[in-house]
Amino acid sequence: MMSESSASSAFLHLHPRVQRWVWKQEWTSLRPTQEQAAPVLLEGKRDLIIAAATASGKTEAAFLPLISRLLFEADASDKMGVLLYIAPLKALINDQNERMELFTEGMEIPVTPWHGDSPLSGKRAFRKKREGVLLITPESLEALFVNHGQQMPQIFSRLQHVVIDELHSFIGEERGIQLQSLLHRLELALRRRIPRAGLSATLGDMSIAAEFLRPGHGDEVHTLISRDDSQELKIQVRGYEQRPPQIANKELQVLDESGDEVEVEDTTSGDVIDISRHLFKVLRGSTNLIFANSRGNVERYADLLTRAAENMRVPNEFFPHHGSLSKALREHAERALKDQSRPVNAICTSTLEMGIDIGSVESVAQIGSPFAVSSLRQRLGRSGRRNNAPAVLRLYIQEPQLTPKTALQDRLRSQLFQAVAMVELLVEGWIEPPRNGALHLSTMIQQTLSVIAEHGGASAQSLWNALCEGGAFAALGRADFLALLRQMGDVGLLTQSSEGLLLHGELGEKLVNHYSFYTAFNAPEEFTLANAGRIIGQLPIDRPVNEGSYLIFAGKRWKVIRVDMDDKRIDLTHSSGGIPPTFGGEGGFLHDVVRQKMRQLYESNKLPSYLDRCGHELFRQGREAFHDAELASNALVEEGDDVLLFPWKGDVILDTIVCLLREESISAEREGLAILAQKTNVKQLSEAIRRIISRSPISAEDLAKPIENKAREKYDHLLGPRLLAKNYATRYLDVSRAFAALKELT
């Protein structure tokens, strides 16, 4: 417990009620980050980023001084201010609401969670009293602007501070630029600057996070970085050779369409069964997180592990957790993890990567190579938080069986080398910097319509001032801004009054009045899954589902008894057969540094000590294939009628090189860690590369024009050809670095 003599300067400046709360926690002292953050936040003038691992006390570092400020103001004026907390997930808001209610108990501070599932009574009470802590998502803040735009200056008249949780998750995304725009518009409505505090995982380049938090003034943002290098780390990377299932895919499709039940063990590859058996053996009886990289994998492993428990007649400790499950099923898994009274294993996607408070887990399992070192670090941060226990990570990597016809990419064992590269970079402390700089014109369309809804109309100049000049879309030039407004008029999003005021057109009105308008990102059309009238989740259908067919969902097996296309509903009954559904949307772009680390591993003689026996053998095979192909000195390797090009760069550069080669009439595709140039030879490909680098670089916009699938974000389909190409190029292409990579090869 903190004694009076050990009480720090920061502690003594907190409000007495907050001091009493700290005493009740029996803390011996404030953590260094909490000490350093307190004076900045109590001052209430500067922007601040607190970067630290999960469960490092960064939430308290923000709230101890900011709640103190609310209380000090209430003491001085009998009126309490507002603290605005913004989080990316409803679950995180619900979790934070529980924590805040315990924190503020007896302090007479209203705490209001505000998202789509929150009670209307709490929202009405906040709009009436306008005080305390408001916990909200970007989408709900958007809804406030659209539905109560004229009242925003009154609703937030006493706003003191904005806190953005999981700041790193917003950077470079549609929701991120939406949030930047909303915060800028809020300051315009209030006609004053509101200090911002960002809570973030540690990033490779914190200056990017600072610039995100305060666009145009990132150098003025104060940054606190907590690095705890004292925790012991235990890692094992396990290798598995893929073995085909007993029933082939063609036979499986016939059985499924005929309505015959199929045992999942007969349809599952042998390596997946081996992994599930090892997970069951080492994790049962303790609490762990199992990250499976995709919702389909979550369902497959949840089913196998649940069946293993049933076959052994022991209580099931394995539960699925992903975004398509119903809220009730997700919360059941979260409560079980928090309970700590019995062992629980959650098989999950990135849904449990963020800072929802689930307590400490003993270990983290990762099936398949992760997409980013930052993601691996976030996941590992869940482990070993109790009693200075080590953080434990098990990686399960599958590679194809080798035959005389196995392609070079598979012989290189690239998935294993990618996983090992990420582990090495994790230990070195390297993390990907966020990719920034996209125009996000889809979100610009949304924000334009939102500003018009907020004010009941807007001039072109006022839209420019609110969104571009000093706003979130400062990278958009005036000519492109005016071109976008004209395009919005052409497609019916905007119309103009006789006074020159821009208003919603017919399509614009329709979009704004639909509940989905508040989200800046694309939500796929989904079917509701129900059993006996109970909703169990949402399923994006990526393969045919017929009455009488079988599937696995929520870790259980089901038979489809009815498909209602009009209501987008599938009714299910329990079954013993099933196939995991196919989900879309998983994946990511690998960074240059990961590929460069992979090359170093191929060229080195060092054998990582944390590989198991099969992992060692797969690693040896990959290194042998690398040397046999002479990849240390050759970037181009002929394979049959094709050529593989190895630039050892990240996916964005590889995609750009693919586009450049297509301009030279080379049929090319990104394939794994290389580029596959089809129906050509080394001489022809080398000549094409020389032609590319001998002339002035083509603009990224022109390079994007031939690409068919450029519409990636929600309203991209409403952009004209030129703006669509420019928008795509800013996010997915990097011509200058692609040119540099090609020059390195010559």
* 443 backbone dihedrals φ, ψ, rounded to 5°: -70, -30
pLDDT computed for residue 301 by the predictor: 95
Quick one: average pLDDT of 162-177?
A: 95
Beta-strand ranges (E) seen in 124-200 are 132-136, 159-164, 196-200
**Domain of 27, in residue numbers:** 9-225
Distance CA(11)–CA(65), nearest Å, equals 9
Task: Look at residue 345 in the predicted model and tell me its pLDDT.
Answer: 95
350 shares its domain with 487: no
In a domain, 536, yes or no: no
Read off the CATH number of the domain in which 571 is found. Answer: 3.40.50.300
721 within a domain of the structure (yes/no): yes
Please tell me the predicted confidence (pLDDT) of residue 35: 95
| pLDDT value for 365 | 97
Q: For residue 450, what are the CA distances in angstroms to 146, 331, 461, 465? A: 6, 33, 15, 14
Residue 317 lies in a domain: yes
Structure tokens at 735: 């011509």
More confident residue, 5 or 166: 166
Give 628's contacts (C-beta < 8 A, 6+ positions apart).
none
Residue 3 domain flag: no
Domain boundary among 187, 209, 225: 225
For 89-122, the pLDDT digits (tens) are 888 998 899 999 999 999 999 999 999 888 899 9
Q: Which of 130, 122, 128, 119 is nearest to 159 (CA)?
A: 130
Nearest to 196 by CA among 227, 218, 172, 178: 218
Please state, rounded to an integer, the average pLDDT across all residues of the chain.
90
**One domain for residues 173 and 283:** no
* pLDDT-wise least confident of 311-315, 336-340, 353-357: 353-357
How far is it, in rounded angstroms, from Cα 110 to Cα 101?
8
**134 forms bridges with which residues in the sheet?**
84, 112
The pLDDT-based confidence of 252 (bands split at 50, 70, 90) is: low
pLDDT of 517 > 80? The answer is yes
- If asked whether residues 255 and 395 sit together in one domain, one would say yes
Q: Indicate if the pLDDT at residue 7 is higher than 90.
A: no
- Check whether 746 has a pLDDT greater than 50: yes
For the chain, give the percent of residues with pLDDT over 70: 92
- Residue pair 21/71 in contact by the 8 Å Cβ criterion: no
264 and 291 inside one domain: yes
| pLDDT score of 5 | 45
**Three-state DSSP state, 676:** strand
CB 687 within 8 A of CB 742: no
Q: Are residues 194 and 126 in the same domain?
A: yes
Mean pLDDT of 693-709: 94
Residue where a domain terminates, one of 629, 659, 691: 629
Distance of CA 127 to the CA centre of its chain: 31
Closest CA to 382 of 358, 348, 366, 346: 358
Is 290 in a helix, a strand, or coil? strand
pLDDT above 60 (res 581): no
Residue-level pLDDT at 397: 98
pLDDT of residue 402: 93
259 falls in which pLDDT band (50, 70, 90)? low
Res 583: pLDDT:
52
Give pLDDT, residue 564.
83
More reliable by pLDDT, 13 or 268: 13
- Is residue 688 within 8 Å of 697, Cβ to Cβ? no
Same domain, 51 and 187: yes
Residue 108 CB neighbour total at 10 angstroms: 11
Bridge partners, residue 637, by sequence? 644
Per residue in 447-480, pLDDT (tens digit) is 999 999 999 999 999 999 999 998 999 999 999 9
Q: For residue 343, with 0-12 CB atoms within 10 Å meaning exposed, 13-18 middle and 19 or more buried, which class applies?
A: middle
- Give the residue from 225, 248, 263 where a domain finishes: 225
The residue count for the chain: 746
Mean pLDDT value of segment 359-383: 89
pLDDT at 585 over 50: no
Query: How many domains in the chain?
Result: 4
Residue 525 lies in a domain: no
Check residue 282 and give its pLDDT: 98
Quick one: 621 and 654 in the same domain?
Answer: no
Same domain, 397 and 445: no
- Classify residue 475: in a domain, yes or no: yes
- The pLDDT, as a whole number, for residue 8 is 75
Start-to-end C-alpha separation, the chain: 66
Are 102 and 213 within one domain? Answer: yes
Over residues 47-98, the pLDDT tens digits come to: 999 998 766 789 999 999 999 999 999 999 888 999 999 999 888 998 899 9
Q: How many CB atoms within 10 Å of residue 179?
A: 26
Pairing relationship of beta strands 391-399 and 233-241 according to DSSP bridges: parallel
CATH of the domain at 453: 1.10.10.10
Per DSSP, 710 falls in state: -
Whether 336 and 364 share a structural domain:
yes
Q: What per-residue confidence (pLDDT) applies to 555?
A: 65
Tell whether 524 is covered by a domain. Answer: no
Structure tokens given for 412: 């290189």
In a domain, 523, yes or no: no
> Greater confidence, 350 or 280?
280
| Residue pointed to by tokens 């919005």 | 488
Whether residues 381 and 420 fall in one domain:
yes
- Nearest CA-CA partner of 646 in 606, 598, 679, 607: 598
Most confident of 127-141, 196-210, 254-268: 127-141
Say whether both 279 and 380 belong to one domain.
Answer: yes
Give the confidence band of 678 by pLDDT, cuts at 50, 70, 90. very high
